[in-house]
Structure 1
Amino acid sequence: MLARAGATPDLVACLVAEATRKRPADRLVEACCFMLEGALTDLRIASNSGDTKARAGLAEACHAVETAVTAKSLAPGVLVLIARAFAQAGLDAGPAPKKAMIAGMEAGFSHDPTPSGPGALVEQLVPLAEALGQDPFAVHAELAATGAAFPSEHRAAMAAEVATSTIPALRDAALGFLLDADPAPSLAVLEVLVAQARRHPAPSRLVERLVSLRPWLPPPRQAKLDAAIRALRANAAAPVPAPRVEVTRLLASLCDGAGAQSLFALLKTGRRFALASVLIKADVGVADAWVREAMPKREADGLIAQITDATEAVNVPISFVQARLADALAINLARQTPPRRPLGPGSVQISARASSGPTLTCNGQTVP
Structure 2
Amino acid sequence: MFARSIKNALNELAEASDITSNQASLERSSTALLHDPEHGESLVRALGSIEPDQNAINEMLQVLTSALDGARMAQEGGQARGGVLIARLEGTVAQLASKGALTMYGSLSLSRAWVRAGLVPPEQLGKAGEAPNEPGLGPLNPDQAEAMFDDVFGELIEQADGDVTVLHEALGEMLPSLPADVRGMIVSTTTARPDGIFGRLGCAFLVDPSEDTRLAAALGLADRLAKGSLEAEVAAQLIILRSWLPSDAARAKLDDVLRDAMRKGVSRGAITEPWTLHKVLATMPDGSGAQSIGVSLQSGSRRVLAMLLLKQDFGINDAYVVPCASASEQRNILASLEAETNAMAVSPDYLSSALELSLGDGLAHGLPPAPGLVEIAELCGLTGLHPRNQTTAALLNTPDPGDELAACSPQARGRLINTSEYWVEDHPLTDCWFEDSDASRAALDKPRTPRAMDTALWKSLEGRRDWWARIIAHSAMLLKAGGHDELRALSRQHRPCLRAALCARSQLCWTFMSRRLVHGCMVARRRIALPPRSSCKC
Q: Report TM bin, short chain.
A: 0.7 to 0.9
Matched, 1:334 2:361: no
Alignment partners' CA distance in 1, 2:290 and 2:115: 20
Q: What are the superposed Cα offsets for residues 193-222 of structure 1, whole Å, 9 maximum, x if unpaired?
A: 223323324323322332342332113444
Q: What are the superposed Cα offsets for residues 219-250 of structure 1, whole Å, 9 maximum, x if unpaired?
A: 34444323323434535499457446332212
The aligned amino acid for 1:101 is K
Residue of structure 2 equivalent to 1:268: 298
Matched, 1:348 2:415: no
Gaps in structure 2 of 5+ consecutive residues: 1-8, 11-25, 391-538
Task: Indicate which of 250, 254, 257 corresponds to 2:287.
Answer: 257
Q: What are the superposed Cα offsets for residues 67-91 of structure 1, whole Å, 9 maximum, x if unpaired?
A: 4224442225233431232113322
Residue of structure 1 equivalent to 2:474: none
Residue of structure 1 equivalent to 2:319: 289
Alignment partners' CA distance in 1, 2:146 and 2:187: 12
Task: Indicate which of 101, 115, 135 corresponds to 2:127.
Answer: 101
Residue of structure 2 equivalent to 1:224: 253
SS of aligned partner of 2:288 = coil
- With over 3 angstroms needed to count, the CA separation of the structure-2 counterparts of 1:18 and 1:235, relative to structure 1, is closer
SS of aligned partner of 1:27 = coil
Alignment partners' CA distance in 2, 1:107 and 1:48: 32
SS of aligned partner of 1:289 = strand
- With over 3 angstroms needed to count, the CA separation of the structure-2 counterparts of 1:210 and 1:242, relative to structure 1, is same
Task: Indicate which of 80, 87, 102 corresponds to 1:75.
Answer: 102
Residue of structure 2 equivalent to 1:200: 228
The aligned amino acid for 2:379 is V
Deviation at 1:188, TM superposition (A): 2.5
Alignment partners' CA distance in 2, 1:118 and 1:214: 27
SS of aligned partner of 2:356 = helix
- With over 3 angstroms needed to count, the CA separation of the structure-2 counterparts of 1:19 and 1:337, relative to structure 1, is closer
Whether the 8 Å contact between 2:233 and 2:271 is mirrored in structure 1 is no
Bigger fraction of residues in strand: 1
Q: What are the superposed Cα offsets for residues 330-363 of structure 1, whole Å, 9 maximum, x if unpaired?
A: 1221122112433477752656236999xxxxxx
What is the percent sequence identity of the aligned residues? 21
Residue of structure 2 equivalent to 1:66: 90
SS of aligned partner of 2:213 = helix
Residue of structure 1 equivalent to 2:54: 28
- With over 3 angstroms needed to count, the CA separation of the structure-2 counterparts of 1:304 and 1:47, relative to structure 1, is farther
Residue of structure 2 equivalent to 1:153: 181
Residue of structure 1 equivalent to 2:164: 136
Matched, 1:117 2:144: yes
Alignment partners' CA distance in 2, 1:52 and 1:130: 38
Instruction: Determine which structure has greater relative contact order: mean sequence separation of CA pairs < 8 Å that are 6+ residues apart, divided by chain length.
Output: 1
SS of aligned partner of 1:292 = strand
- With over 3 angstroms needed to count, the CA separation of the structure-2 counterparts of 1:182 and 1:356, relative to structure 1, is closer
Whether the 8 Å contact between 2:360 and 2:388 is mirrored in structure 1 is no
Deviation at 1:12, TM superposition (A): 5.0
Q: What are the superposed Cα offsets for residues 265-291 of structure 1, whole Å, 9 maximum, x if unpaired?
A: 223333443322221111211111112
Matched, 1:308 2:338: yes
The aligned amino acid for 1:65 is L
Residue of structure 2 equivalent to 1:280: 310
Alignment partners' CA distance in 2, 1:110 and 1:85: 24
The aligned amino acid for 1:269 is S
Alignment partners' CA distance in 2, 1:63 and 1:295: 42
Q: What are the superposed Cα offsets for residues 141-162 of structure 1, whole Å, 9 maximum, x if unpaired?
A: 1222112244543322121111
Alignment partners' CA distance in 2, 1:16 and 1:257: 35
Using structure 2 for the length normalisation, give the TM-score: 0.55
Using structure 1 for the length normalisation, give the TM-score: 0.77
- With over 3 angstroms needed to count, the CA separation of the structure-2 counterparts of 1:190 and 1:69, relative to structure 1, is closer
Whether the 8 Å contact between 1:204 and 1:239 is mirrored in structure 2 is yes
SS of aligned partner of 2:385 = strand
Whether the 8 Å contact between 2:191 and 2:217 is mirrored in structure 1 is yes
Whether the 8 Å contact between 1:187 and 1:224 is mirrored in structure 2 is yes
- With over 3 angstroms needed to count, the CA separation of the structure-2 counterparts of 1:94 and 1:283, relative to structure 1, is farther
The aligned amino acid for 1:85 is A
Deviation at 1:258, TM superposition (A): 0.8
Deviation at 1:113, TM superposition (A): 9.8
Alignment partners' CA distance in 1, 2:218 and 2:75: 40
Alignment partners' CA distance in 1, 2:219 and 2:76: 44
Alignment partners' CA distance in 1, 2:182 and 2:63: 28
Task: Indicate which of 277, 282, 288 corresponds to 1:247.
Answer: 277
Residue of structure 1 equivalent to 2:432: none
Gaps in structure 1 of 5+ consecutive residues: 358-368
The aligned amino acid for 1:324 is A
Residue of structure 2 equivalent to 1:174: 202
Q: What are the superposed Cα offsets for residues 293-329 of structure 1, whole Å, 9 maximum, x if unpaired?
A: 4653222211211221233211123443333222211
